Structure 1
């Protein structure tokens, strides 16, 4: 037989009044503590006893005592009520100041470029907040997976999310090692990629991502082939730096190796520009102080 574990409506009504009367052994003193009249306390206790189905107090003109049922009720109700009060206090603290665990879902490529400087300064500014960064290429359901916010490129964020910009718009670049270009030549047109070793990305849904470009005002997706498939941009960029082939990667993660000459760009006239990287979450009214503090920190530092 299936048991019903649902708490009855009003099942906790009167428990605080009962505990106060049990503590003071007085309806009058309990009423003073709770800021109500003695008659209101008496009525509340009568209603509780009716729900429980047993007398909880022995009342005389001079004293108030607990029945055996009242003693048993007290032994279980008092610690349970104190736990509820403690839980409420913890929840209230999290609702009033930045504290607790802030969980972020972030693509691995964004961690060193976008988040590391922010997280370091945020942790110094808010020592009562613990930040957990879960690096994943998958687009996760924030609420279902227990995340406070995520970080993604703007084109992948659902329209019902609140987004906060982390980077300006940037291009996707085709990059390769100078030695690779000496061996294989430099592609001048999109079609030239057919004869090159192109390092490809497998999306979280299992599909191989084409390389997007813009030819004039026309969007073009190039189907490329090559010796390596990976699931993140840093792996593809690392392989390109080592001369394995060409990689099509976000501009910010390629900036350092471009600057020091480890890779060079090609096909820049055809580069597609993305909206940039954003922090996103489900809505302002649901954001706890820890997330609001992180959002303000992001805005202040960008």
Structure 2
């Protein structure tokens, strides 16, 4: 059906209900002239008179009554469906699909996600933890959690995590055998442990000091693709490793690892929640964003 024809039928139904062009126009927020012209056009296209008009009254013709018998229940059902959908918008039920990497899941997303599902069991939640780059639109995820630098241009990005920091660390047993690096360029003289990301490339080692940024492509003697394996390898004295400070924190605290190049490793913006700019947020989606913000506050303020 031509979309305009449906609009004309809707206006005809309203006029028949109100028994007045003026009242129908007022309820629809249009002029009386517009309503009158619409009815004339509808009658002309259908080739039949639908309304009987006089100076004092307006009523459907026999043909108009037959049309209303079909039209009125359909419009009433559509109105009822729309009302149900509008109520659902205010309710947190429905499906929520979230994707993120392992570090984001461990430190931020899982605590927020699990707390939301516990508070709202009517939400069907799915959390996909994987380090590969995920096209959330193609794979039908509602929201993803990544670093801002990894986001596409057509995505809305909302900061949800505290600043992060990368560190270069080594085991005491390894550093006892050599001079620690003083600048990033000194890394060429060291055994390094590389991390292969989900795209198959080695993660670069990025540094900054006094406004000077420097990226080093190390030639690793060992390569892993798992954060726990990276920590295990460096704790075993296999060389220096570059990783998020959160991963190294327990071993740094108990003295198993020692940080080097600390003055070359400033904090950088943390995780962002991202979603398609074309997406209409559901109530569950909005609640999850708020849960992420609350988790971030807990981490920042202890």
Q: Normalising by structure 2, what TM-score?
A: 0.66
- Cα distance change of structure 1 residues 153 and 248 upon mapping to structure 2, 3 Å threshold: same
Q: Residues 160 and 282 of structure 1 are in contact (CA less than 8 Å); yes or no, is this contact kept in structure 2? A: yes
What is the match of residue 173 of structure 2? 179
Matched position secondary structure for 1:294: helix
Rounded to whole Å, the distance in 1 between the matches of 2:83 and 2:229 is: 46
Give the equivalent residue in structure 1 for 2:181.
188
Partner of 1:106: 100
Kindly provide the CA deviation profile for residues 20-79 of structure 1, in whole angstroms up to 9, marking residues without a partner as x.
Answer: xxxxxxxxxxx9xx9688xxxxxxxxx9xxx9xxxxxxxxxxxxxxxxxxxxxxxxxxxx
Please name the residue that 1:62 is paired with: none
SS in 2 for 1:221: strand
1:155 to 144, 149, 153: 149
Which residue is 1:288 aligned to? 282
State the alpha-carbon separation in 2 of the partners of residues 86 and 204 from structure 1. 47
| Alignment correspondent of 2:257 | 263
1:226, distance to aligned residue in structure 2 (A)? 2.3
Per-residue deviation, 1:258: 1.8
SS at match of 1:287: coil
* CA displacement at 1:296 relative to structure 2: 1.7
Cα distance, 1:165 vs. partner? 2.4
Which residue of structure 2 lines up, in the alignment, with residue 78 of structure 1?
none
2:120 is the counterpart of 1:141: no
C-alpha separation in 2, matches of 1:137 and 1:175: 22
1:74-153 correspondence runs (5 A): 92=86, 94-153=88-147
Tell me the distance in 1 between the aligned counterparts of 2:251 and 2:267.
20
| Contact 2:144–2:273 (Cα < 8 Å) also in 1 | yes
How far apart are 1:106 and its partner, in Å? 0.3
Tell me if structure 2 keeps the 8 A contact 1:212–1:272. no
Quote the Cα distance in structure 2 between the aligned partners of 1:254 and 1:35: 72
* Separation of aligned partners in 2, 1:35 and 1:246: 79
Q: 2:273 matched to 1:279?
A: yes
Match of 1:199 among 166, 187, 193: 193
* Other structure's SS at 2:248 match: helix
Q: Secondary structure at the match of 1:273?
A: coil
Q: Which runs of 5+ in 2 are unaligned?
A: 8-13, 20-41, 47-76, 298-302
Could you say what secondary structure the match of 1:290 adopts? Answer: helix
